[in-house]
Every structure is written in C-alpha cells, then in structure tokens.
Amino acid sequence: MAGVARRFTSAAAQSLEIKRVTVVGGGQMGAGIAQVSATFEHPVTLVDVNSEALDRGKQYMGKSLARVAKKKFPEDPKVAQEWAEDVLGRIQTTTSLADGVRNADLVIEAIVENIAVKQRLFGDIAADAPEECVLASNTSSLPIGKIAEQLDMGRRQKMVGLHFFNPVPQMKLVEVVKAVETSQEAVAKALAFVKSIGKAPAVCKDTPGFIVNRLLLPYMMEAIRLLERDVAEARDIDTAMKLGAGYPMGPFELCDYVGLDTIKFIVDGWYKEGEGLQGNKLFAASQKLDELVAAGHLGVKTGRGFYDYTKK
C-alpha cells in the first residue's frame, strides 16, 4: 500500500510539473522572466515580433547574467563565463508565435498593457499551444478574466496571472492571480513553477491592482496630492517616508522608477472602469502627474520625472 501511495504522489507531482516555458515579449520584463526560468534549468523559448527586439532581449540577458555570474563565482572568471553561457544556451528565440508555443507547458505573456492587444495575442496562442498548456499574463493592472474572456472555457480554466516585479532577477515576489474561471489545477501548476524558479508566490483573486499595486498606487497618488497642495517638497516627503516609515524608497523616487506614464495609465483606467473603483477620488486625475507625462518627463527612463536624473 505504501508503494502505491508513493507512486500516486509521484504521478501527481509530475502532472503539476512545468518544464518547457515560452515567454512572449522580449522587453526587459520578458527577458528577465526568460533569464530566471533558464537559470533554474527550464528550456525557454523567447518570442517577439521582430529579430531586433529579440537581439535587445539577448543583450539584456547577457549583461544581467554576467553580473550574476561575477557574484556567484568571484574567484573564477572562466567558470563564471561558462555558467552564463550555459544558462543562455537554454534560451531559444523565434519570431514565430506558432512555433514558440507549440510544445510549451507554460506560456507567459509580457507585452504592452493594452487589453485588446493581449486578447488578440491569447487568441493566437490558443490556436497552437497544447491543450494542457497553462496560459499566463504578466499584466500589473488589467483583469485576467477580461484578458481571457474571448477564449473557450477550457482555455479560460487554464488562464492565470503571473505578475513578476522589475528587475525580475532580483525581485523575489510573483503575484499568482486566480480569475473566477481559473481551475485549481492551473493555480497549482503556476505555484509549483514559481517555486521552481526560486520565487515566492502570493496568491490573490482577480481584482484591480492585485495586492501590491492596489496598496502602492493610492500611496503614490496621495503623495502627489500632498505636493500639489504645497504641504511639503517631494524630497522632504521621500525623506519622511524613508526615515519615518522605514521604506527603502520614497513615493516620488518610486514613481520615477515605475514610470509616470505607467502610473497614469493604471489610475486613469481604474477611475474610469476599475471594478469597485470607478469614480473613486483616490484615482482621480492629478494635474501635476498629467503635466509631467504630457511633457515626456516619465521618470528614470527619460532622465526626468519628479526628479532630474541628468544632473550628476
């Protein structure tokens, strides 16, 4: 009887195992997810619409892995290089979505935050991915159920959110998001995968912003309104929250790091049509935020946001 139980347990574990991973989107997030998956010995296929995007993704992964390898093998540069090359060797790239997903156990989407574009992509993925393949979106703010709504019931049951955080190789958390129609088996497979790549999962329901952004966005927006009301300067607000609340970054430093356009996109969407958030004053338009975004001052990535990063 004990032997039967062990075989049953082993078979159940194998049924949850995800081996082959496909990541769609070769930007910083997608490349980071591909890198971490390959680091933990998953065969990975990275898909993007053109070879230039894939080349940029490979360059990002190469530089990132070189830094990791240097820390991992500080006394042996040759071993460090071989280790990084070994990880990169587990990552294939292709511009063919059909080829990229055909043998996948898990497909993770990491493309632009546009729900119509994501819906079309998952429709295309569903046409070629294996029936048992788990489908996942890395969205930080869009409803998983809405992204999957045009798929058939079988595919919707296998759809989850896997929200990684930037930079993926360093950030430990992955939010695992369960939509109304997501099966427990899909969630179990997603959890097993997240743990297999050394990340810590936090499971939540399909609600606007999930856990982290639902708490962070009101915090950041209230900081901006303090600035608009001339209660304090941005630097003083950041200092207060770092030294008084123990936060590693102040709200304005965090805004600039996340990207002001990203913040505006999320809060505007929540204010207009977020479930339970429509018309909530917490997410009403901010004149200061709107002005910075309109001027192209989006934060660290453009050299200027609430702070000027062009000055040394």
Q: Write out the catalytic residue numbers.
A: 140, 163, 175, 213
CA distance 188 to 218: 31
Distance from the Cα of residue 208 to its chain's centroid: 15
Question: Which tokens go with 52?
Answer: 């230039």
Q: How is residue 85 written in tokens?
A: 């090359």
- Whether the CB-CB separation of 36 and 170 falls below 8 Å is answered with no
Residues 116 and 123 sit within 8 Å (Cβ to Cβ): no
- Tokens read off for 277: 């958030």
Burial (CB < 10 A; 0-12, 13-18, 19+), residue 240, is middle
Q: 244: buried, middle or exposed (CB in 10 Å: 19+, 13-18, 0-12)?
A: exposed
Q: Residue 243, exposed/middle/buried by CB under 10 A (0-12, 13-18, 19+)? A: exposed
- Of 145, 167, 162, 159, the closest CA to residue 202 belongs to 162
Alpha-carbon distance of 100 to 45, in angstroms, equals 6
